Chains A and B, each alone.
Chain A
Amino acid sequence: MTLSGMFKGFPLKAAALCALALTGGFISQAQAQDGDIRLGIVSPNTGSNARYGSFALRGAQLAVEEINSAGGINGKKIKIFSGDSQCTPVEGVSATQRLIQEDKVGFIIGDICSSVTLAMQPIVENAKVLLVNAASSNPAITYKAGVGGFKWTYRNYPTDEVRSLVVLDYATKQKNFTKFAVLSVDSDYGRGAINFTKKYLERFKSEIISEDYYKDGEVDFRSVLAKIKNSGAQAIIMYGLADTTPIIARQMVETGLAGKIPLIGNGEFNAPATIKAAPTALNGAIEAAAWLPGWDTPRSKEFVKKFEAAYKGETPNNHAYSHWETVHLIAATMKAANSTDGEKVRDAMAKIKFDSAVGPITFDDHNQALVPMILLEIEGGAPSIKGAFVGSIDYPKN
């Protein structure tokens, strides 16, 4: 294209470009009113954790509707912008950047997958956007938060350090297991939880006989299950994905492990759909969860009822609860700070005492909320709660 060629019809092209830019501006303005509180939700909406993501988003949406219909916060309504992390750090970071730069969110709740959250932390720190995590359990997230470095990260969810301690304690003391096989998902979550389990093995005089990690999308577990069957392990420690647990459970029935070697750890063992897939394999499973629908406090029961009413009778899972509660937590913090400015809300969160459905929530100096981990065992096809534990953590010296 020659120079003169480029400028041919310039007035027309310029007008077209201007019109396009203006319409772009109008479109984005029409979506959110000025003065709305923009809340981003980063969650895995597709992929192997899509079920978690769907629950998380709906829990958050329920809370936002409740708050908005009660008048919003100081008259301002909350608007949700959703980003899909696909449970991979690459997509999660991309979604976070889009939320911050294009949707101009001031607050983000995300992600569920620990690997994604770890990748999001530096982004929100640089952009000075408040990240309140409601579902990732890898302890490293808050090792590095608060006095640990990232000032703009808070977490309202218990960590795998507490989880692995609680599970191992129950398995060795109540069930007298001493030999374990590991079959966890190959991610920061799966590997991290096993690392913490190993930390406590000596305290409970038990050992790990074999260690295997499965990739997202793996469907053939027969070889590993055959190995475990021959190894003399008494239980399988599994920190895994919700949608892979039914596959493993079915193949446990196939290879003859069901009913002989229980699953312990976390992988949505208590969901009715999972239990239905292979009841004999799930019987006797031990899980440590952050919340479950059977939790017996008035606020918790009310949440379950509201969720079921809003979403065609579907029972919420712990991610729905934690996202619902975290939205209310942010709202309460905004009210306490009497501001929706990110920095003021961040500082107010450090000092807040919030009455949640699982007890009063406060944050320690690493921006980690002190919340309990609920231990349950599957008996007769349904989860039965055995106790709730709050653990305080020894943070590593920097």
Chain B
Amino acid sequence: MLNLLGEQLLNGIVTGSVYAIVAVGMTMTFGVLRVINFAHGEYFMVGTFASWFVIEKIDLGYPQSVVFAVALTALLAIVVGYFLMRKMVGAPFENGVLATLGVSLILQNLAVALFGGSYKFFNGGYIEPVELFGYGLAQQRILIVIVCVLVFIGLDLMVTYSRMGKSMRAVSQNIECCEIVGIDVQSVVLWTFVIGASLAGLSGVLTAPVNVSVYGGMGELITFKTLPIIIMGGLGNVRGTFIAAMILGIAESFVAGFIGLQFRDSVGFVTLSLMLMWRPHGLFSLQSRF
């Protein structure tokens, strides 16, 4: 029994890492732009598709496809960010919802229009299993956890010490003051969005080897699962998001393992409902945004 408990915990941590990398981008976007990016899962999908495309059609290796995928996602994010997302700053909340939902629909159906509606098979990545603490684990999953930790350490350092990070914190606090002080708000907004979306793309291409299926609608579930995480972690709170993602990953793993797989998706939404009822500003202090 302890063995099984340990295995579910490990599964939860791996799942949580995937969610964490995706969620941090969405929470950063909210923190700076005050927009919930409903198209966030689609950048995850774009990253996966880009990687799949170069592996299948151009015969690149997996590491090169990761670089390509993140670059392409970043490029897409620059375009969307420059023409669309920047205008959301200071606009009413509904604008952001509508705009990002629109982007989501466009990206999903673009993928279906370009590549067809059937599920594609992802060939690539390090799927050979290794033994860790007596549990079988694909090498890719260990890579995901390592990347997740590195990403969060990196982001934490950037936000605390770098100029861009400090500007991001400033913009998330008060835009007018930033403009007075001389911070280029439009630029900060754009780069925050690009970083967030690129992280989603990175998460997509890292999980593709173990998730195997690539299809246009795959981002939708990601967006819906990320929403409870960012609310639980506190909108805009990077550290909180990491912990919330881990909590969700482990909770899902336990529910799937001990209660039933069919209830797995409900964990996110039950958590969301509880959060909104009990502690709508998130598990962590309101003051600790960024």
Contacts and interface: CB of A to CB of B under 8 A. Distances in A.
A102 to B, nearest CB: 21
Contacts of A220: 11, 15, 211, 256, 264
A65 interface: no
A224 to B, nearest CB: 5
B260 A213 contact: yes
Contact of A218 (B215, B217, B261): B261
B210 interface: yes
Contacts of A243: 118-119, 213
Interface in A217-234: 217-224, 226-227, 230
Given A50-B117, A51-B119, A222-B11, A215 B265 contact: yes
A223 B254 CA distance: 7
A47 B7 CA distance: 32
A290 B264 CA distance: 32
Given A50-B118, A223-B11, A254 B262 contact: no
Contacts of A256: 129, 136
B51 to A, nearest CB: 16
Interface in B247-263: 252-254, 256-258, 260-262
Contacts of A45: 117
B57 to A, nearest CB: 17
A379 interface: no
B121 A246 contact: yes
B8, B119, B252, B261: residue with the most chain A Cβ atoms closer than 10 Å: B261
Nearest to A50: B118
Contact of A254 (B3, B4, B129): B129
A212 B261 contact: yes
A48 interface: yes
Nearest to A228: B257
A211 B211 contact: no
A150 to B, nearest CB: 30
Interface string B3-24: 1100110010011000000000
B138 interface: yes
A46, A219, A223: residue with the most chain B Cβ atoms closer than 10 Å: A223
A219 B141 CA distance: 13
Interface in A194-228: 211-215, 217-224, 226-227
Nearest to B212: A247
Nearest to A213: B262
Nearest to B209: A250
A254 B127 CA distance: 8
A223 B253 contact: yes
Contacts of A19: none
Nearest to A84: B117
Nearest to B257: A223
Interface residues of A, number: 38
B112 interface: yes
B218 interface: yes
Contacts of A54: 118
Contacts of B117: 45-47, 50, 84
Given A54-B118, A254-B138, A256-B136, A246 B212 contact: yes
Interface string B231-253: 00000000000000000000011
Contacts of A251: 210
B8 A223 contact: yes
B137 interface: yes
Interface string B106-128: 00000010001111010000010
B261 A214 contact: yes
B112 A254 contact: no
Is the interface on chain B under 10, 10 to 19, 20 to 34, or 35 or more residues? 35 or more
B262 A214 contact: yes
Contacts of B211: 219-220, 247
Contacts of B75: none
A186 B262 contact: yes
Given A46-B117, A50-B117, A226 B129 contact: no
B157 interface: no
A218 B264 contact: yes
A51 B116 CA distance: 10
B150 interface: no
Nearest to A221: B261
Contacts of A253: 129
B4 A230 contact: yes
A297 interface: no
Interface in B207-227: 207, 210-213, 215-218, 221
A254 B137 contact: yes
Contacts of B14: 222
B248 to A, nearest CB: 12
Contacts of A226: 4, 7-8, 11, 135, 257
B15, B119, B257: residue with the most chain A Cβ atoms closer than 10 Å: B119
Contacts of B138: 254
A278 to B, nearest CB: 9
Contacts of A230: 3-4
B256 A224 contact: yes
Contacts of B118: 46, 50-51, 54, 243
Nearest to B218: A217
A273 interface: yes
A23 interface: no
B165 to A, nearest CB: 33
A227 B4 CA distance: 7
Contacts of A384: none
Contacts of B261: 183, 212-214, 218, 221, 223-224
A218 B15 CA distance: 13
A47 B218 CA distance: 10
A90 interface: no
A81 B127 CA distance: 42
Can you list the 3 inter-chain pairs with the closest CB atoms, starting with the nearest? Answer: A46-B117, A50-B118, A223-B256
Interface of A: 45-48, 50-51, 54, 84, 183, 186, 211-215, 217-224, 226-227, 230, 243-244, 246-247, 250-251, 253-256, 273, 277
17 contacts: A45-B117, A46-B216, A48-B213, A50-B119, A51-B119, A213-B260, A213-B261, A217-B218, A220-B11, A220-B15, A223-B252, A223-B261, A224-B256, A224-B261, A227-B257, A256-B136, A273-B121
